[in-house]
Amino acid sequence: MSIYLDNAATTFPKPEEVYRAADRTLRAVGVAPGRGGHSRSVEAARIVFQAREALAELLGIGESSRIVFTHSATEGLNLAVKGLVRPGDHLVTTSMEHNSLARPLHHAAATGVEVTWVQSDPAGYVTAAQIMSALRPETKLVAMTHCSNVTGAVNPVEEIGPLLRERGVRFLVDGAQSTGSYPIDVDAMQIDLFAAPGHKGLYGPPGTGFLYIAPGIELEPLLHGGTGSGSSELTQPVSLPERYESGTVNTPALAGLLAGVEFVAARGVASIHAFEMALVDRMIKGLAAIPGVTVYTPDDGRPRCAVVSFTITGMDPSHIGFVLDHRYGIAVRVGLHCAPLAHKSIGTFPLGTVRVSPGLFNTEQDIDRFVAAVAELAGTAR
């Protein structure tokens, strides 16, 4: 039986109710929301509204209309960065960013935006003090990941948010690895812009994501077009969420996302996090006991999410992943994980690491089989 340990990329399997919701919506509703007054269109609009409401409830967001649906966290991050900053602005970010944020920031720098990259420690952490010391009078935005997709390090956004709010600096958080599996209260953390995908810790289908935009923030849309409202005008609507949702949204996928969010809420994010951390602790303990294995995920009491990176001395990570898949039936992620700057920060560039990310549908037996397989591989390397 195969073992899937690549949940940081996309959770699999999905809860059965996610499959059923997407299938039912495609078959029984099957039309666009907000594109007509007939019952099917009204039902589609209800599903999309309920998905927004469920996300707002799960993440501590007061106004669900300020949640904009996107096809991915990447789109949401691009909307936030490109919609807010202008040449001459100063931004602060970290050396641990995924390319979904690092590349828009690099593009902004090429257009005249100045970007300060705060260096993490070797485990992938940055401190609130580091972020605050990088601010300037002209700083407009701090943009950073909540949880590293390479080491699992969780950064103190709950400390940084209030400090930035006091100084009038906007705060963009990439919640790709933490949403659904790490407790988040966006309003309490004083996060201004929060992007996340639907297909990871929320157990929704691929092609779903969202961006939360706090009151008082005006972003230039990435797209202009039909929104199902204000059709008499050639200008883009100003009301949310329509301003940022041009084109027909993927209602069947959002129905699946709604089911995924309800699944997570019913189990409780804190409970999910505790379950995943138990698997991670078991994995790190097992890997650390194997000669030749180096683990890059922190095990010192600091906050973590369910991501473990490791290498075996004398073996290319790509070869390790290939053998784990073809000989042992274990799926992991290898290489740079779309985060080259992070690997430079922890000293694993250019080959990268083997990344292992258990999820809610994994078991202790899965972890034990994985550790045993790595022990055999490390033995052959020696």
Query: What does pLDDT average to over the chain?
Result: 96
338 is catalytic: yes
Report which of 139, 81, 140, 142 is spatially closest to residue 111, judged by C-alpha positions.
Answer: 81
Give the other-Cβ count within 10 Å of 124's Cβ. 30
Let me know the angle formed at the C-alpha of 165 by 162 and 171, rounded to the nearest 5 degrees: 90
Q: Identify residue 280 by its one-letter amino acid code.
A: V
Question: Please, what are the domains in the chain?
Answer: 3-12+269-381 (3.90.1150.10), 16-267 (3.40.640.10)
pLDDT for 203-241, tens place per residue?
Answer: 999 999 999 999 999 999 999 988 777 777 888 889 999
Which member of 132, 338, 351, 375 is catalytic?
A: 338
Q: What is the average per-residue pLDDT within 318-342?
A: 97
pLDDT for 23-55, tens place per residue?
Answer: 999 999 988 887 668 899 899 999 999 999 999
pLDDT for 136-179, tens place per residue?
Answer: 999 999 999 999 999 999 999 999 999 999 999 999 999 999 99
Residue by residue, DSSP assigns 247-292 as: S---HHHHHHHHHHHHHHHHH-HHHHHHHHHHHHHHHHHHHHTSTT
Q: How confident is the model at residue 211, as a pLDDT?
A: 98
- Is residue 5 within 8 Å of 310, Cβ to Cβ? no
Q: What is the dihedral of CA 54, 96, 304, 349, to 10 degrees?
A: 130
Q: How confident is the model at residue 241, as a pLDDT?
A: 94
Query: Is the predicted pLDDT of residue 310 greater than 80, yes or no?
Result: yes
Q: For residue 125, report the phi and psi dihedrals to the nearest 5 degrees.
A: -95, 145
Residue 227 token pair: 């929104």
Q: How confident is the model at residue 37, as a pLDDT?
A: 80
